[in-house]
Amino acid sequence: MALLEVNNIHKKFGNTEVLKGISFSMEPGEALSIIGSSGSGKTTLLRCLNFLETPDKGRISVKGDLLLDADDASTQNESDIRHKRLHFGMVFQSFNLFPQYTALENIMLAPRLLAKENGKLKSEEEAIRIRAKELLDQMGLADREGNYPHQLSGGQCQRVAIARALALSPDILCFDEPTSALDPELTGEVLKVIKSLAEEKTTMIIVTHEMSFARDVADQAIFMDGGVIVEQGDPKEVIDNPKMERTKQFLTNYNNA
Ligand SMILES: Nc1ncnc2c1ncn2[C@@H]1O[C@H](COP(=O)(O)OP(=O)(O)OP(=O)(O)O)[C@@H](O)[C@H]1O
Ligand SMILES: [Mg+2]
């Protein structure tokens, strides 16, 4: 059974149809890279998967459970959505760390809220702290737990954001251009962390403009344009040997940029 099945997702903003029927599936442990020009709908797709937008049409299933059917209002209950969202972790371009909390507190925040909701904060607090420290260590930031975001570099902030997304053990970790706010040196340290997550078989969707990274880290690649999937398959084929004229054009412009 596929881990994630995305079926015919459509999304309009006003009269503009931004997603025009997106379908794909992912196996456990797979990394999928999504490339495409600005405005092609990549962020909107990730936001739909994370229930930050509601698609107008389509279905999303994880491990065979139908999480969302745009035609079935009973799948769109607000309180259920908060739990369904836990299947996905999201890492944004701009990190979105809470400035008033330390690195460790940023990572512990969501697990603490969840434990509190379940009336288990007291019993789980220590395990949450231990897990957060492990994640910081895994990100190479063990010595930074007490630092506030303004005391960290962009690359370090992004690694804290990745640890924060992992803290709730999502089934699928989504990255939206995780390095585009970073200079090349800091980009490298973040890409290294994502690569090691891929080696550990973390299921991931990575929207990126780093073409060689998209090709080398992923098991599957999608090229999106104008709200549709134009080309999809082995990343080496899609990126080094594209079949569709539109993909070729995009990659040529890209390489010349
Ligand atoms: N909340 C919104 N309201 C209206 N239009 C929106 C909204 N969000 C996105 N759009 C429009 O949808 C289209 C797709 O946007 P989206 O951000 O998904 O593209 P993208 O592929 O992520 O682009 P980029 O590479 O620049 O990040 C754009 O034309 C954008 O202006
Ligand atoms: Mg975007």
CATH number of the domain bearing residue 23:
3.40.50.300
- Give residue 50's region: left, alpha or beta (phi > 0; psi -120 to 50): alpha
pTM: 0.95
Parent domain of 226: 4-256
**Is 254 close to ligand 1, i.e. is its CB under 6 Å away?**
no
Largest CA distance in the chain: 58
Say if residue 108's pLDDT is above 90.
Answer: yes
> From atom 12 of ligand 1, which residue's Cα is the shortest distance away?
18
**Is 38 close to ligand 1, i.e. is its CB under 6 Å away?**
yes
User: 89 forms bridges with which residues in the sheet?
Assistant: 173
CA of 18 to the centre of ligand 1 (A): 7
Position 227 scores a pLDDT of 98
CA of 29 to the centre of ligand 1 (A): 28
Position 146 scores a pLDDT of 98
Mind listing the pLDDT tens digit for each residue in 204-243?
A: 999 999 999 999 999 999 999 999 999 999 999 999 999 9
Please tell me the number of the ligand nearest to residue 222's CA: 1
Average pLDDT over residues 61-71: 96
How many of the other CB atoms lie within 10 Å of CB of 229? 19
- CB distance 188 to 201 below 8 Å: no
**Is 43 close to ligand 1, i.e. is its CB under 6 Å away?**
yes
CA of 45 to the centre of ligand 1 (A): 10
Position 254 scores a pLDDT of 80
Please tell me the number of the ligand nearest to residue 92's CA: 2
Measured distance CA(242)–CA(256) in Å, rounded: 16
Mind listing the pLDDT tens digit for each residue in 114-134?
A: 999 999 999 999 999 999 999
Question: What pLDDT band is residue 88 in, cutting at 50, 70 and 90?
Answer: very high
Give the total number of structural domains in the chain.
1
43-48's contacts with Cβ under 8 Å and 24+ in sequence apart are 43/176, 43/207, 44/11, 44/18, 44/19, 45/9, 45/19, 45/224, 46/90, 46/174, 46/176, 46/205, 46/207, 48/9, 48/11, 48/19
